[in-house]
Amino acid sequence: FHARCLQCLQCPRMDLCHVPATREKGWYLALMAPNVKGPNYAWLDPSRLYCHPQGLQDCVADLLQPFQGDAIDMVAGIDAMGFILGAAAAATLRKGFLAIRKAGHLCVQTVAQPYSDYSGREKVMEVRTDAIAPGLRILLVDQWVETGGTMRAAIELVERLGGGRAPLCVPTGVATICIENSEGGKWIQERYKCSHCVPPRLQPRFDQHQ
């Protein structure tokens, strides 16, 4: 991390104008804010980096770089924080954006998928049935993969609607700021093309929530 970026973690306000002279992949991770509210919350708040214009641009660029040259028809983002990165990725790619919602918000015909989130809570997500056709190539985007339950449920939704027909595989890939080396995270990385922003040297710290 750049020394000045590290100061952002302690400062009450972020310097939105400061950009490091050398922007290595993941420099913007230092803009994220640590948990100050206790164990009922996630250990880190990535959304703080979205406030920094260059940080957000570089984050999206890094997420999309591994998919350059890949055929992508649509970007799907997972409720709720995946909406931010997903919509930004869709705009960059000039593709449409599909919202994968928590159950109970869509007034049209949907298909639902139960899942357990990172905290172990049982939830249900759903997606509209008129947007995904067999063979559509979809990039799935979320903010974070911890246990993998949420992303795996989104993958299953897309594959159910798309039929998972070869040679046009759906989903095309998974993009998220961090994929932890949990059992669920490994399951996703072993089966799908994945992109994340954490440098290998820092991955153990993220896995241990440090």
Task: Tell me the average pLDDT across 66-93.
Answer: 97
Check pLDDT > 80 for residue 196: yes
In whole angstroms, give the CA distance from residue 161 to residue 46. Answer: 30
pLDDT single digits (tens) 31-77? 999 999 999 899 999 999 999 999 999 999 999 999 999 999 999 99
Residue 163 structure tokens: 């039929």
Residue 120 structure tokens: 């172990």
Dump the DSSP string for 3-57.
HHHHHTTT-SS--TT---SS--TTGGGGGSEE--S-TTS-SEEGGGGGGSHHHHH
The ranges assigned to domains in the chain are 33-207
- The strand order across the sheet containing 96-102 reads 110-116, 122-128, 96-102, 74-78, 138-145, 173-179, 194-195
Task: Tell me the average pLDDT across 110-138.
Answer: 91
Start-to-end Cα distance in the chain: 14
pLDDT the model gives residue 170: 62
pLDDT single digits (tens) 146-194? 999 999 999 999 988 875 544 334 688 999 999 999 999 999 999 999 9
pLDDT the model gives residue 190: 96
The yes/no answer on whether domain 33-207 falls in CATH 3.40.50.2020 is: yes
Region of poorest pLDDT, from 2-11, 100-109, 152-161: 2-11
Top pLDDT among 163 and 8 is at: 163
Task: Tell me the average pLDDT across 90-99.
Answer: 98
Task: Tell me the average pLDDT across 196-208.
Answer: 97
